[in-house]
Amino acid sequence: MKKVAVIYWSGTGNTETMAKQVAKGAEDAGAEVTLKPVSEAASDLVKEAAAVAFGCPAMGAEVLEENEMEPFVAGLSQAELGGKPVGLFGSYDWGDGQWMRDWAERMKGLGAVVDGEGLITQLVPSTEALDQCQELGKRLAG
């Protein structure tokens, strides 16, 4: 069974809602899924997974959340991500998605095979956005 890890940070629950749907999509597609807030995730989880989804909202000024998510992402290397399918997702509000474009480029720079341009949704994810989250999970499981 293909292992998929879903690792996220969420302050007010919007990205967490997305994470749960990504995990559901992957599970429904037959993957063995581990869903963890980043505070409980070890980098081994990334290494051992065949595909990984990372979720984080736009924070600061168009950056990842700085206390937990940023250090975790900064600790990732080509050894864990090279050639690996990676899905990125997160909620935002007033920006234009710059944090996600930067994040996707960063992950590609480590050799990750990033799904599309990352999945972003404004504030509370709509039904359509939640469907897209499930589809992302399915692609990562496939």
Ligand X SMILES: Cc1cc2nc3c(=O)[nH]c(=O)nc-3n(C[C@H](O)[C@H](O)[C@H](O)COP(=O)(O)O)c2cc1C
The site for ligand X (CB under 6 A) is made up of: 10-15, 57-62, 91-95, 123
The partner residues of 55 in beta bridges, in order of sequence, read: 8, 89
Minimum distance from CB of 69 to ligand X (Å)?
11
Q: How far is the CB of 116 from ligand X (least distance, A)?
A: 19
- Cα dist from 84 to 61, 62, 96, whole Å: 28, 25, 27
Nearest distance, CB of residue 39 and ligand X, angstroms? 14
Cα separations in angstroms, 30 against 2, 25, 59: 8, 9, 33
Shortest CB 112 distance to ligand X, Å: 22
Query: By C-beta, is 10 or 34 nearer to ligand X?
Result: 10
By C-beta, is 62 or 70 nearer to ligand X?
A: 62
Phi then psi dihedrals of residue 100, to 5 deg: -75, -40
Q: Which is nearer to ligand X, 62 or 68 (CB)?
A: 62
Which of 7, 29, 33, 11 is closest to 87 using CA atoms?
A: 7
**Identity of the residue, 7 or 58, whose beta carbon is nearer to ligand X in the bound complex:** 58
